[in-house]
Structure 1
Amino acid sequence: MTWQPAIVMMTGLFAAIASGAEDVESETKKIQGTWVLASTESDGKAVASESLKGREVRLVFEDDRVIARMGEKSVSLGTFKLDPSRTPRWYDRIYSDDSLRRGIYRLEGDSLTICLAGIGKDRPTAFGTKQGDGLSLLVYKREKP
């Protein structure tokens, strides 16, 4: 009968959609917690690691929210969305005024690398920056409890 291949195809499509949702959920769980900024680069220039000492910047992921902390100060950076089905994986930050920063991320054990474009700019395609591109490359290490 001709309807059987259609059912098989639809079943495969539903399985792929469910698997994608599970991947997003799994990645979102993995990223939860506090991350300490280890290195940063912008427009092709690395920030000296000495300048990061004594002013630890933390990125905190709580559910779908992302918060920046520096010392006693805390600032909401809005919400985030992950798409691990893309290569490289997509990271989007949505600020409270609905402005969007598109980026990519790599999550490997206790290391999180995020490359972000400026607000409203095109998503980066690789992990790195060069002069005048407006990209920021941030490397975080998971904070140990």
Structure 2
Amino acid sequence: MKHTIKIKGALGTLCIICMAWAGQGLAAEKPASPPTPAEEKVTASVPDQDDPLKRDQVAIQGKWKVLAMRAAGNPGPDAVIAVMRYEFKGNQLIITPAEPGPGYTFKLDPSSKPTATFDMTPVGSKKPDDTMKGIYVLDGDQLKLCLGKKKRPTEMRAEAKDGFGQVLIELEREKP
């Protein structure tokens, strides 16, 4: 029973993260009119694409659907995965359907070695223990997150180890 509650809690947290992430994609992918030549020149001179943090921060924005998730080595329930979405807006993450609350803030560090890091904290929390530490791989419209409550994972896998579980979430950007 104790393990079931921990797994449900981890899956609930995972669902919240995935849902918040997913929402940003639709807003970011609104059809726009083609840029004028003057706008193209301005866009071409912006150096943000040379900065890995800015590049990933922009690329992660939008709505994402959960394809798969595992918590402490156990697969998430299909019924939950089917409806879970993550929406990234700025540095905010909203997961739907979500537990009550204002969502999360997230922080990326693509320069971290050996793997890029992803940290998420409940909005308004001042406690360091509330931050879930993780790693991420962002490849086009595919995103993988691996999160740990007490300790940052070092590999993309979900396992139960040393009394704490890791959550592995695989996401895909929603198409407009």
Q: State TM-score, norm by structure 1.
A: 0.74
RMSD: 2.4
Mark the runs of 5 or more structure 1 residues left unpaired by the alignment: 1-17
Of the structure 1 ranges 32-41 and 124-133, higher mean CA displacement relative to structure 2 is found in 124-133
| Higher share in helix | 2
Q: Flag the 1:89–1:48 CA change in 2: closer, same or farther, 3 A.
A: same
Counterpart-to-counterpart distance in 2, 1:102 and 1:138? 14
The offset of 1:51, in angstroms, is 5.4
- Corresponding residue for residue 34 of structure 1: 63
- Residue deviations 1:18-73, cap 9 Å, x none? 99x921111100000000011000111122546533xx1110000011101129x8
Contact 1:45 1:131 in 2 (8 A): no
- Corresponding residue for residue 93 of structure 2: 66
| Higher share in strand | 1
Q: State TM-score, norm by structure 2.
A: 0.62
Counterpart-to-counterpart distance in 2, 1:114 and 1:101? 11
Residue 101 (str. 1) matches residue 127 (str. 2): no
AA at the equivalent of 2:116: R
Counterparts in 2 of 1:1-145, with a 5 A limit? 22-49=51-78, 52-53=81-82, 56-70=83-97, 76-86=102-112, 87-96=114-123, 97-98=125-126, 99-118=130-149, 121-132=150-161, 133-145=164-176
Counterpart-to-counterpart distance in 2, 1:83 and 1:134? 22
The offset of 1:94, in angstroms, is 1.7
Contact 2:159 2:167 in 1 (8 A): no
- Corresponding residue for residue 26 of structure 2: none
Counterpart-to-counterpart distance in 2, 1:51 and 1:68? 12
Mark the runs of 5 or more structure 2 residues left unpaired by the alignment: 1-46
Aligned length: 122
